[in-house]
Amino acid sequence: MADNLSSIPVNDAVALTQTLLRMNTINPPGNEDQCTRYLAELLSAAGYDCRLVDFAPHRSTLVARIGGKPDKPPICFTGHVDVVPLGSAKWAHDPFGAEIVGDKLYGRGSSDMKSGVAAFTIAAIAVASEIKDSAGLTLVITAGEETGCEGAFHLVGMSDVAEILGKAGALVVAEPTGNQPLVGHKGAFWLKASATGVTAHGSMPESGDNAIYKIARAALALENFDFATPPHALMGQGTLNIGTARGGLNINSVPDAAEMTIDIRTVAGQDHRQIWGCLCSRMGPGIGLQTLLDVGSVFTAPEDPWMQSVFARCQTLFDTPLQPKTVSYFTDAAALREPLGQPPTVILGPGEPHMAHQTDEFCYVARIGEAEQLFRQIILDWCKG
């Protein structure tokens, strides 16, 4: 550990995690402003310039900044405070009780990802006085991530985003990784394909034009879709799945409308616009396409010097050598990276990846303290190195 770290107790990050867990931010409806306004008060008191950006009632994203130098951009941390619904299974632990049992802290969002937000918030407060005259630090704490990075995309779509957000030289996304650094994630490209026809009585199908046949032929045309790009060294190949298909209103009518949804997960180097064109060509005329979600992949080469420095910091927590890995889920980095200036990006947080969205979600208490110390070191390495 660095000798000049602040004396704020490590378990303050645990206490802050508990405070955030007791705020019900299930999305929908979200109500994330409970968390973001509370965090803004803490960070403002530590000297951060805080701005809350509302994208819906009671749904705000927080951007907190400190420091800044013309010759070096700040480091940026990001995380979301909305959580997914509880599911139908009964919880053994109160999902909003923030109960600690043994070495585990239970609650919806404990791993995904209020522990990560708490850890970098406490780290940011701890080092505030040391970095206020340095390159600086930006925190972006978002609403609406679980339903397609809504808060982040709203922020980057604002006309004054450059003034609010600024640039960054490096980006840490505190999603659950068990404190093991990840170098990227796949993109998500969700589409709705639709076909139209002419309705008629089911006993006289020759008088109509069956839309289900059209959408069925289109679905079969995509069964073995070729992305026409080589597999990525770490991410593998992109994937395509038909998730739903719907058509018709009753058994004795020719359906005049049908649709299906397409879930595509892309890897670094694949262009969503090119994929759109390939889909249209493969499915043929008469099929309409509508974008439901367009979130690009994120990847930083393991050889990047900053990435190597992060791996070196994380390695002190593990006995076996860390290997570069990526994940299939997407993060707010897909929205934030471009306006931030395409900085090298690591996904790194205390939560347990396998506990995200699970019944009786938990995070190991020790991981939260480890992450808070780790984040302090990463901030200081950037600002004072």
Which residues are annotated as catalytic?
A: 82, 146
204-229 per-residue burial string, b: 16 or more CB within 10 A, e: under 16:
eeeebbbbbbbbbebbeebeebebeb
Strands (E), 17-123: 49-56, 59-66, 75-80, 100-101, 104-106
Length of the chain: 385
20 sits in which H/E element: helix 12-21
Question: Which residues make Cβ contacts (< 8 Å) with residue 139, sequence separation at least 6?
Answer: 43, 48, 62, 63, 64, 65, 76, 77, 78, 120, 121, 124
* C-alpha–C-alpha distance, residues 216 and 76, integer Å: 46
Instruction: Answer whether the bond into residue 302 is a cis peptide, omega within 30°.
Output: no
The token duo for 342 is 């395409």
CA atoms within 13 Å, Cβ hemisphere of 208: 22
